[in-house]
Structure 1
Amino acid sequence: MFPAAASASEEPGPLYHKVRTVDASGNVNWMPWTTDNFEGSQEAIAAMPDGSSQLLGKGLDGNVYHNIRTASGSWQGWRPIAGAHGAPTFSGPSIAITGMPVPSKPPTDPRDPDVSPAYGQSQLAAVGNDGRVYHNIRRPDGWQGWVGIPGPNGGYFNASKVAIVGTSHGDSSVLAYGADGHLYTNTRFYSGRWTGWTAMPGANGAKYFDGSELSAAAMPDGSVHTLAVNKSDRKVWLFTPQLRWAPLAGASGSEFTDPSDIAITSIPKYYDFSTAYSAQVQVVVAQNNGTMHHQVGNIGSDKNVTWKGFQQVQQLPTGFNKVGIAGMFDGSSQILTAVNRESWSPTLV
Structure 2
Amino acid sequence: MLPQAVIDFANKGFSWNPDELPYMVQLGREHNTNMLRLLEGDWRYSYIAGNTNVVQIDYVNMGGRRADGSIIGSGDMSRAIIANNTPTTKSGVLVGTERRADGSWTTAEPLPGTNASLEYGVREFGGGERAVTAMPNGDLQVIAYGPDKRLYHNVRRADGSWTGWARPNTDAVDARFPGGPLAITSTPNGDAQLLAIDKDGYLNHNVRRADGSWTGWAAIAGPDSGRFKAKDMAVAALPTGAVKVAAFGADGALRIAERLADGSWDIATKGWQTLPGVGGAPTFAGKDLAMTVTTGNVIQIAAVGNDNGVYWTTRSPRGGLNGPWNGLEWKPNDLMRGLGVSLTALPDGSTQLLAVGMDGNTWHASSGTDLKWSAFGQVPGAYGRPLGANGAAITALPNGSTFTLVGAR
TM band (smaller chain) = 0.7 to 0.9
* Deviation, structure 1 residue 220: 1.8
Structure 1 residues 214 and 30: alpha-carbon distance in aligned structure 2, compared to 1, 3 A threshold: same
Q: Deviations over 1:286-307 (max 9, x none)?
A: 11312211112101xxxx4122
By how many angstroms is 1:221 displaced?
A: 3.1
Query: 1:224 matched to which residue of 2?
Result: 299
Matching residue of 2:285: 210
Contact 2:94 2:405 in 1 (8 A): yes
Partner amino acid for 2:396?
G
| Residue 315 of structure 1: how far off its partner (Å) | 3.4
Taking a change above 3 Å as real, the CA distance of residues 247 and 84 of structure 1, as seen in their structure-2 partners, is farther
Larger fraction in strand: 1
User: Between Structure 1 and Structure 2, which shows a larger proportion of helix residues?
Assistant: 2
1:221, 1:133 → 2: CA distance? Answer: 29
- 1:338 corresponding residue in structure 2: 407
Instruction: Describe the superposition over 1:171-199 as per-residue Cα deviations: whole angstroms up to 9, x where unpaired.
Output: 10111110000011110001111112111
Could you say if the C-alpha distance between residues 252 and 75 of structure 1 is closer, same or farther in structure 2, counting changes exceeding 3 Å? farther
Deviation at 1:148, TM superposition (A): 0.7
Which residue of 193, 207, 218 maps to 1:137? 207
TM-aligned CA deviation for residue 5 of structure 1: 12
Structure 2 unaligned blocks of 5 or more: 1-85, 114-121, 316-321
Alpha-carbon deviation of 1:85? 7.8
| Max Rg structure | 2
Matched, 1:72 2:159: yes
- Asked if 1:199 is matched to 2:274, the reply is yes
How many Å separate the matches in 1 of 2:261 and 2:255?
20
Query: Do structure 1's residue 327 and structure 2's residue 396 form an aligned pair?
Result: yes
Which residue of structure 1 aligns with residue 109 of structure 2? 31
Moved more, 306-315 or 320-329: 306-315
Equivalent residues in 2 for 1:249-328, closer than 5 Å = 249-251=329-331, 254-257=334-337, 259-268=338-347, 270=348, 279-299=349-369, 304-316=370-382, 319-328=388-397
Cα distance change, pair 153–262 in 1 and its aligned pair in 2 (3 A): closer
Secondary structure of 1:234's counterpart equals: coil
Separation in 1 of the partners of 2:111 and 2:280?
A: 45
**CA distance, structure 2, for counterparts of residue 61 and residue 84 of structure 1:** 11
Task: Give 3-state SS (helix, strand or coil) of 1:296's partner.
Answer: strand
CA distance in 2, matches of 1:16, 1:252: 31
Give the 3 Å change call, closer, same or farther, for CA 312–12 of structure 1 in structure 2: closer
How has the CA–CA distance of structure 1 residues 179 and 194 changed in structure 2, closer, same or farther, with 3 Å as cutoff? same
The amino acid across from 1:261 in the alignment is G
Q: Is the 8 A contact 1:287 1:320 kept in 2?
A: no
Matched, 1:189 2:260: yes
- Superposition map of 1:92-241 within 5 A: 92-101=179-188, 119-141=189-211, 142-152=213-223, 155-196=226-267, 197-231=272-306, 233-241=307-315
Q: 1:48 to 1:244 in 2, by over 3 A?
A: same
Note if contact 2:312-2:328 (Cα within 8 Å) is conserved in structure 1.
Answer: yes
TM score, norm. by length of structure 1: 0.80
SS in 1 for 2:255: strand
Tell which has more relative contact order, 1 or 2 (C-alpha 8 A, sep 6+): 1
> Counterpart amino acid of 2:302?
L
Distance in 1, matches of 2:153 and 2:95, equals: 15
C-alpha separation between the residues in 1 aligned to 2:341 and 2:245? 17
Aligned counterparts of 1:314 and 1:254: Cα–Cα separation in 2 = 23
Q: Tell me the distance in 2 between the aligned counterparts of 1:227 and 1:88.
A: 31
Give yes or no for contact 2:177–2:196 (8 Å, CA) kept in 1: no
Q: 1:83 to 1:182 in 2, by over 3 A?
A: farther
Answer whether contact 2:392 2:407 (CA < 8 A) is retained. yes
Give secondary structure in 2 for the equivalent of 1:40: coil
Contact 1:5-1:289 within 8 A present in 2 as well: no
Q: Tell me the secondary structure at the aligned position of residue 290 of structure 1.
A: coil
Read off the aligned partner of 2:232 and give its amino acid letter: K
User: Hey, what's the Cα distance between the residues in 2 that align with 1:138 and 1:12?
Assistant: 29
Farther off after superposition, 142-151 or 88-97: 88-97
Task: Check whether the contact 2:229–2:249 (CA below 8 A) recurs between aligned residues.
Answer: yes
**Partner residue, 2:79:** none
* TM-score scaled by length of structure 2: 0.69
Q: Tell me the residue number matched to 2:325.
A: 245
The letter for the 1-side match of 2:379 is V
State the distance in 2 between where 1:288 and 1:76 align: 35
Provide the aligned length of Structure 1 versus Structure 2: 300
**Structure 1 runs not aligned, ≥5 long:** 102-118, 271-278, 341-349
Q: Which residue of 2 aligns with 1:274?
A: none
Structure 2 Cα separation of the partners of residues 290 and 86 of structure 1: 33
Q: Is the 8 A contact 1:215 1:264 kept in 2?
A: yes
